[in-house]
C-alpha cells in the first residue's frame, strides 16, 4: 500500500465519524506488517468518558483480529492544522508499535511524517515494569 492510499483510507473515515459534540471528525488507518489495513473514526458520547479516538478504534479492531505488528498509521483531520494523536492514543500506539511511522494528514491532503518516538520520546512500556 502506498502512503497516498493509506492517507486516503484515513481521510475516507472522516465521513464516518460520530462527533456531534466536538464537531471535530478524525479518521485513522493503520497498516500491519502483512499489508492489511484497519480503519477507525472517532466516536463520541454525551458522557464524554466513553468516547474513543479514531486511532484506538483502528488499533483495537486490528488487535481483535489477531494483528499486533504495525508499521505505520495515517491520522486525518478535517482542519488545516495537523491532528496528532492524543496522549492516550500515543500510549496505546507505544504498547504495540514503538517503531511506528506516523503520518498526519490535513484537510488539504498535506502530510507531516513523524515517528512514534517523535510523539512520545520518553515513553512508558513493558520494560519499565521490570523490578531490576
* pLDDT tens readout for residues 98-129: 999 999 999 999 999 999 999 999 888 888 88
Better-predicted residue by pLDDT, 56 or 123: 56
Instruction: State the pLDDT at residue 103.
Output: 98
Instruction: State the pLDDT at residue 9.
Output: 98
- Tell me the average pLDDT across 49-67: 98
What pTM, to 2 d.p., does this model score? 0.95
**CB 111: neighbour CB atoms within 10 A?**
16
Better-predicted residue by pLDDT, 122 or 76: 76
Quick one: what percent of the chain has pLDDT higher than 90? 92
Task: State the pairing for strand pair 70-77/101-105.
Answer: parallel
* pLDDT tens readout for residues 28-49: 999 999 999 999 999 999 999 9
Q: First vs last Cα of the chain: how many Å apart?
A: 41
Question: How far is residue 48's CA from residue 1's CA, in Å, rounded to a whole number?
Answer: 35
Question: How far is residue 104's CA from residue 28's CA, in Å, rounded to a whole number?
Answer: 9
Q: What is the DSSP letter of 13?
A: G
- Please list the active-site residues: 55
Distances (CA, A) of 56 to 80, 94, 99, 117, 132: 22, 12, 17, 18, 31
Amino acid at each position: 500500500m502506498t502512503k497516498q492510499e493509506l492517507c486516503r483510507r484515513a481521510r475516507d473515515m472522516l465521513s464516518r465519524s460520530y462527533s456531534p459534540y466536538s464537531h471535530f471528525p478524525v479518521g485513522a488507518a493503520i497498516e500491519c506488517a502483512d499489508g492489511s489495513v484497519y480503519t477507525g473514526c472517532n466516536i463520541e458520547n454525551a458522557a464524554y468518558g466513553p468516547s474513543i479516538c479514531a486511532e484506538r478504534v483502528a488499533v483495537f479492531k486490528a488487535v481483535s483480529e489477531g494483528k499486533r505488528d504495525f508499521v505505520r498509521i495515517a491520522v486525518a483531520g478535517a482542519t488545516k492544522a495537523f491532528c496528532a494523536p492524543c496522549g492516550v492514543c500515543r500510549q496505546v500506539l507505544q504498547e504495540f508499535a514503538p517503531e511506528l511511522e506516523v503520518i498526519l494528514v490535513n484537510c488539504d491532503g498535506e502530510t507531516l511524517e513523524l515517528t512514534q518516538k517523535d510523539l512520545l520520546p520518553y515513553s512508558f512500556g513493558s520494560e519499565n515494569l521490570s523490578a531490576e
